[in-house]
């Protein structure tokens, strides 16, 4: 028969292992759809600010911003996913991320919440979404009756676009690494 102390110890061990076996995601909106980004890929989230266009850039590369002295390229996720632009510009956010070992910004329609989900609930994308669009997905999560698609940030850009992205924007080591030499 377990004593109360033994049950508390088991409960504490279960809680500790649960925290270690979970994944934290940021839930974002792009158009009317919700997606998630692994919190470990996010540097910071800022309010939308004017973006300076870059000549001859790919259509989805909105331009660049000056973030505390660093020039950051900004990708419009609505254009990337071919979603019509909304008109609620005051709710737009720029999610600053690390992608292909570079710092970049993603324009999203909103940042909704932080999710902590058990790692066992993070599953590969089902076959029905496998195809050209699935290259942007790393996994799916079922949370409180909703299915959330987790973005694969390393695949948001094609190989050709990665070269264009790097050549159009990054001029020195400081810009490539987000200010860290």
Q: For the chain, what is the mean pLDDT?
A: 76
12 found inside a domain = no
**Cβ pair 94, 26 in contact under 8 A:** no
Q: Which two tokens stand for residue 1?
A: 């028969």
Q: Sign of the C-alpha dihedral, residues 33, 73, 42, 159?
A: positive
| CA 9 to chain CA centroid, nearest Å | 37
Judged against a pLDDT cut of 50, whether residue 154 lies above it is answered with yes
Task: Specify the pLDDT at position 13.
Answer: 39
* CA–CA separation, 181 and 12 (whole Å): 42
Judged against a pLDDT cut of 90, whether residue 66 lies above it is answered with yes
**Cβ pair 95, 26 in contact under 8 A:** yes
9 found inside a domain = no
* Domain that residue 51 falls in: 23-176
150 found inside a domain = yes
Judged against a pLDDT cut of 80, whether residue 1 lies above it is answered with no
Task: Specify the pLDDT at position 121.
Answer: 87
Q: Report the range of poorest mean pLDDT among 15-19, 122-126, 157-161.
A: 15-19
**Cβ pair 76, 60 in contact under 8 A:** yes
**17 phi and psi, to 5 degrees?**
-70, -30
What mean pLDDT is predicted for residues 113-126? 86
Total structural domains in the chain? 1
Task: Output Rg (C-alpha) for the chain, integer angstroms.
Answer: 19
What mean pLDDT is predicted for residues 145-157? 80
Judged against a pLDDT cut of 60, whether residue 95 lies above it is answered with yes
Task: Specify the pLDDT at position 161.
Answer: 57
Domain CATH for 165: 2.40.50.180
Output the DSSP codes for the chain.
Answer: ---HHHHHHHHHHHHHHHHHTEEEEEEEEETTEEEEEEGGGEEEEEE----B--TT--TTEEEEEEETTEEEEEEEHHHHTT----S-GGG-EEEEEEETTEEEEEEESEEEEEEEEEGGGEEPPPGGG-STGGGGEEEEEEETTEEEEEE-GGGSS-HHHHHHHHHHH--SHHHHTTS--
Q: Which two tokens stand for residue 47?
A: 């309010």
126 found inside a domain = yes
What mean pLDDT is predicted for residues 8-34? 68
103 found inside a domain = yes
**Token pair 């020195």 in the structure block, residue:** 172
11 found inside a domain = no
| pTM of the predicted protein model | 0.74
Judged against a pLDDT cut of 70, whether residue 180 lies above it is answered with no
Task: Specify the pLDDT at position 170.
Answer: 52
What mean pLDDT is predicted for residues 154-177? 56
């Amino acid at each position: 028969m377990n004593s109360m102390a033994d049950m508390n110890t088991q409960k504490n061990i279960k809680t500790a292992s649960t925290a270690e076996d979970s994944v934290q995601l940021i839930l974002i909106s792009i158009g009317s759809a919700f997606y998630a980004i692994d919190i470990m890929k996010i540097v910071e989230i800022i309010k939308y600010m004017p973006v300076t266009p870059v000549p001859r850039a790919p259509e989805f590369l909105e331009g660049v911003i000056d973030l505390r002295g660093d020039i950051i390229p900004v990708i419009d996720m609505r254009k990337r996913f071919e979603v019509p632009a909304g008109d609620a510009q005051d709710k737009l956010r720029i999610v600053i991320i690390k992608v292909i070992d570079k710092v970049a910004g993603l324009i999203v329609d909103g940042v909704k919440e932080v999710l902590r989900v058990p790692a066992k609930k993070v599953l590969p994308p089902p076959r029905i979404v496998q195809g050209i669009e699935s290259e942007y997905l790393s996994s799916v999560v079922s949370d409180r009756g909703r299915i959330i698609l987790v973005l694969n940030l390393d695949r948001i850009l094609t190989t050709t676009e990665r070269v264009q992205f790097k050549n159009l924007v990054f001029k020195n080591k400081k810009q490539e690494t987000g200010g860290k030499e």
